[in-house]
Amino acid sequence: MLRNSRLGYRVAQLTCFRRALSSSPVKPPQLTTTPLKRRRFKFSYERSANSVVDEKNLDVPENKLDYSKYQRNNVTINVSEEQAQKIPAIVSLHARLQLPSSYKYSTLVRALTCPQKEEKYPDNKQLTIFGANLLSFYSTEYLIANYPRLPISITKNAVDAYIGDFSLADIARNSWGIEEDRTSNLEKYLAGEPSLFKFGRLRYDKRVTHVERGITKFGNSTETTLDDTTAFANAVRAIIAGVYAHEGEESAKKFTTDHILSRKVDISSMFDFREPGKLLTRLLRVKGMEPLTVRLMSESGRLSNRAVFVVGCFSGENLLAGGEGSSLKEARIKSFVNALKAFYLYKPLDSNVPSDKNFSPLFIDEGEPFY
């Protein structure tokens, strides 16, 4: 009898405790006025921060769209066109890039001269900014027009693969043959090299990141110091800006297409699906297609150590994609990934970009509300 009374008292305690928890008021969430931080995707690769030239240092022409007539009035020394034509490296680079005759050799000299702390010659600072914006525009419209279903993150990575620092530096070194000025003034003097020949190579204030063993480096790097990758990439941007300044937009676009956008970039390797089956199921549901089904299409050597399975994913009777693997799970996942890549890497047959004269927009689909 005592045991039953204790048990009833314990049940009553738990009941009261449960009621107290369920009847307690809930504190409303605190509303904050600070906006949510959202991920931003930047398509422009210009280095425009803290690099705008004051208008007092510029001689602005009457037609502000005539970019070839902008001059800096704080430059004390300039390389003339006659002097630039006497530099073998500049002449060979001009011919190697098949630049038009209107492209001045002095502009090419300026494109290879990065901002330096103790330098009175015109540099490629403004040409780099303008060329970076041109490359960003042409590469972005090319990817959006040719791959309209690419997610925004993959598009950003593809743009970086085309016009990033490492890609442009590889073009400058290996494709265009631009050399770096590594010799000192003493070495040039001992070799009997004319002082004018230094303008045929890329010149910049090198940023020292690896110091010799046993040597301690003091001091901070200045604003003009660059690493070699950025310096070579800026030279490419400046050369493309020079094409626009001398020949106009159509020539700059063709030059960019021939030298930059014609390079092979494997966009399919940029995808990384965590749950491809769920994503494909959701995609079919949004597009109003039949549910996803997986079927074993063929197999060989199931009982051996080198089994091969071929699995296909279907939407009704339509085969979306197939995948093969050493196990059923691997083949199924590969079929999901191949189906998603086939959707995202859709490419129109006759695609044109907005900068084309005969541009006509093409409706692809309504986009993805869940991605």
Higher pLDDT, residue 54 or 176: 176
244 backbone φψ class: left, alpha, beta (φ>0; ψ -120 to 50): alpha
Number of DSSP helices (H) and strands (E) in the chain, helices first: 12, 7
Task: Provide the pLDDT for residue 225.
Answer: 79
Which of 169, 167, 160, 166 minimizes the C-alpha distance to 140? 160
State how far the Cα of 129 lies from the Cα of 132, in Å rounded to an integer. Answer: 5
Which of 278, 236, 257 minimizes the C-alpha distance to 353? 257
Mean pLDDT of 19-44: 43
Token pair belonging to 343: 């959707």
Q: How confident is the model at residue 44 (pLDDT cuts 50, 70, 90)?
A: very low
SS3 of 256, please?
helix
State how far the Cα of 323 lies from the Cα of 334, in Å rounded to an integer. Answer: 5
CB 105 within 8 A of CB 91: yes
Task: Provide the pLDDT for residue 217.
Answer: 58
pLDDT tens, position by position, 116-146 = 776 667 888 889 999 999 999 999 999 999 9
Task: Provide the pLDDT for residue 47.
Answer: 42
State how far the Cα of 320 lies from the Cα of 338, in Å rounded to an integer. Answer: 8
Cα–Cα distances (Å) from 262 to 130, 145, 177, 309, in that order, read 21, 15, 18, 37
> Which one-letter amino acid corresponds to residue 258?
D
Q: Whole-prediction pTM value? A: 0.75
Q: How confident is the model at residue 7 (pLDDT cuts 50, 70, 90)?
A: very low
b/e map 241-266, b = 16+ CB within 10 Å: bbbbbbbeeebbbebbeebbbeeebe
DSSP 8-state symbol, 52: P
SS3 of 68, please?
helix
State how far the Cα of 321 lies from the Cα of 273, in Å rounded to an integer. Answer: 16
pLDDT tens, position by position, 302-318 = 888 889 999 999 999 99
State how far the Cα of 41 lies from the Cα of 39, in Å rounded to an integer. Answer: 7
Higher pLDDT, residue 369 or 115: 115
Task: Provide the pLDDT for residue 199.
Answer: 85
Which of 46, 254, 53 minimizes the C-alpha distance to 132? 46
Indicate the average pLDDT of the chain.
Answer: 79
Give me the residue label for tokens 């494709």.
Answer: 175
Residues of the chain with pLDDT > 90, as a percent, come to: 44
Higher pLDDT, residue 184 or 278: 278
Residues with Cβ < 8 Å from 27, sequence gap 6 or more? none
Element (H, E) at 321: strand 318-325
pLDDT tens, position by position, 216-273 = 555 555 566 788 899 999 999 999 999 999 999 999 999 999 999 999 999 999 998 8
Most confident of 46-50, 68-72, 117-121: 117-121
State how far the Cα of 81 lies from the Cα of 91, in Å rounded to an integer. Answer: 11
Q: How confident is the model at residue 333 (pLDDT cuts 50, 70, 90)?
A: very high
Task: Provide the pLDDT for residue 111.
Answer: 92
**Neighbouring-strand partners of residue 315:** 292, 318
DSSP states of 331-363 as a string? HHHHHHHHHHHHHHT---SS---TTSTT-----
> Which one-letter amino acid corresponds to residue 178?
I
Which of 310, 272, 319 minimizes the C-alpha distance to 292? 319
Task: Provide the pLDDT for residue 26.
Answer: 38
CB 243 within 8 A of CB 116: no
CB 261 within 8 A of CB 139: yes
SS3 of 104, please?
coil
SS3 of 202, please?
strand
DSSP states of 104-171 as a string? -HHHHHHHTB---TT--S--SHHHHHHHHHHHHHHHHHHHHHH-TT--HHHHHHHHHHHHSHHHHHHI
Angle at 144 (CA atoms; ends 141, 161), nearest 5 degrees: 80
